[in-house]
Amino acid sequence: MIVSALMALALTSFGVGIPGLFLTTALLNVVVAVYIYSLVPEFLLRFIAWMLVHTFYRIRLVDAQRIPPHDAAVLVCNHVSFVDAMVIMAESP
């Protein structure tokens, strides 16, 4: 937070306004996201799946706490389609 406050102070001293601060923050966020997604591509796939699932479907989780965080589990849907794997990937932790 201190670094971001110093960055905002430096940018405003150079005459950058509030929209410029938001643009700078957004661009830095994109750079960090690209770096993280290049290190761990699974995060990118899960993010894309989450965006698609939450855009097109209304999901209702039932007993999500029953999914074990470290052990193996079998997750099944109540019907068969090509979307099921993407929904499970997007909704499971």
pLDDT tens-place string over residues 46-91? 888 888 887 887 777 777 777 777 888 777 777 777 777 777 777 6
Count the domains in the chain. 2
Q: Tell me what the pLDDT averaged over the chain comes to.
A: 82
Name the residue range of residue 47's domain: 40-93
My answer on whether 3 and 17 are in the same domain is yes
Q: Which pLDDT does position 82 carry in this prediction?
A: 73
Mean pLDDT of 28-45: 86
CA 41 to the chain's CA centroid: 12
The reply to whether 7 and 31 lie within a common domain is yes
Question: 92 and 64 in one domain?
Answer: yes
pLDDT at 93: 63
The pTM is what?
0.51
- Band of pLDDT at residue 92, cut at 50, 70 and 90: low
| Alpha-carbon distances of 58 from 50, 65, 72, 86, rounded to whole Å | 12, 19, 26, 14
Amino acid in the structure at residue 36: I
Q: Which residues contact 49 (CB under 8 A, 6 or more apart)?
A: 86, 87, 89, 90
Between the CA of residue 40 and those of 37, 45, 82, what are the distances in Å?
5, 9, 24
- E runs forming strands in 1-93: none
Q: pLDDT tier at 30 (50, 70, 90 boundaries)?
A: very high
